[in-house]
Amino acid sequence: MPQIRFLSKADIGRLLDLGRTVDAVSEAFSAYQEGKCLIAPVVSMCMDNVRGELHVKAAYVESLSLISTKLIHAFYDNPRKYRLPTGMGLLVLADGLTGRPLAVMDSSMITFLRTGASGALGIRHLSREDSRIATLVGAGVNGRMQLRGLRLERPVEEIRVYDIDPKAAESCAAEMSAELGVPVRARAGLREAVLGADILITCTPSRSPFILRDWIKPGMHINAIGADGNGKQELEADVFIGAKIVVDHAGQCTSFGETSWPIKKGLLRAEDVYAEIGELTSGRKPGRISPEEVTIYDATGVAIQDLAAAGLALLTAESVGAGCLVEL
């Protein structure tokens, strides 16, 4: 009987590092531009009474001969009420030739790593190389991973952290200062945290915009990470006016991502989007071309990212014998 490999969150944490995941995700985005991937429409459901969300994402990558199907939940009261992680779920990886299941693994760590990798690519291709100051809004697990991705790409000298929970910002700042070896400081005020930053990362589940156009300086790059489902918004719609806009997936971002809001308000047309990130990773289009332009990377999360990270995890697990083998 066929066997499948089960990989826990701890297994994936040991098997994958962010640098290798960045490379794998970059290759997947490039493969998508070459027509070698299929991406299923995202299935999402919000359970507002319990502050919960469900997302299902699936993809096929021909060059890897793999199929992935990811189920991920986000329940925002879990840490406070139940001492559980906010995000939990599973990912199934299958053979792209036969459909045979190959692995079942925790999807939360895969999601953290592939989201951090996507953010790193946005910073690599769109931020100024001389960026000195970065600001993170949203001090959760995903925010921490965004800072790790930032440090892979830019040797910034100062990082500011803001969160609606001041204790969360202070905890994140202390932890990441020690880990990254760069001053990371919590800021009490949002406006104060954003003004003067060269790179701005927003990574929250907000359904009300909080970043204002007046705060954006020439040359700033924005990684908009949080708006991954209907109703979510972090940037005021007019922040997009005059900016160079890059998205991870045009269909998703113009339908329910950050980019959808200025389109709904008539401030932007779908064709005003400059590129998908795969056009930059594949070299089909340049990223930043001047130090003065404002750039925005709208990242809703694409299933090929999950597949790339999961495929790398399985390949590494097979090489070292990690995880548990289960007979179907």
Catalytic residues: 70
Angle between helices 166-180 and 141-153 (to 10 degrees): 30
Beta strands 43-47 and 87-95, pairing class:
unpaired
* HSE (side-chain half, CA atoms, 13 Å) at 71: 5
User: From CA 141, how far away is CA 183, in angstroms rounded?
Assistant: 19
Whether the CB-CB separation of 136 and 203 falls below 8 Å is answered with: yes
Query: How far is CA 32 from each of CA 18, 277, 291, rounded to the nearest angstrom?
Result: 21, 10, 29
Beta strands 52-61 and 37-39, pairing class:
antiparallel
User: From CA 295, how far away is CA 304, in angstroms rounded?
Assistant: 24
CA angle 206/211/213 to nearest 5° reads: 150
User: From CA 111, how far away is CA 119, in angstroms rounded?
Assistant: 12
CA nearest neighbour of 283 among 125, 87, 176: 125
DSSP 153-175: H---SEEEEE-SSHHHHHHHHHH
Whether the CB-CB separation of 57 and 115 falls below 8 Å is answered with: no
User: Residue 213 in 3-state DSSP?
Assistant: helix
DSSP 219-246: T-EEEE-S--STT---B-GGGGTT-EEE
User: From CA 307, how far away is CA 117, in angstroms rounded?
Assistant: 13
User: From CA 89, how far away is CA 70, in angstroms rounded?
Assistant: 8
Which residues face 71 on adjacent strands?
56, 90
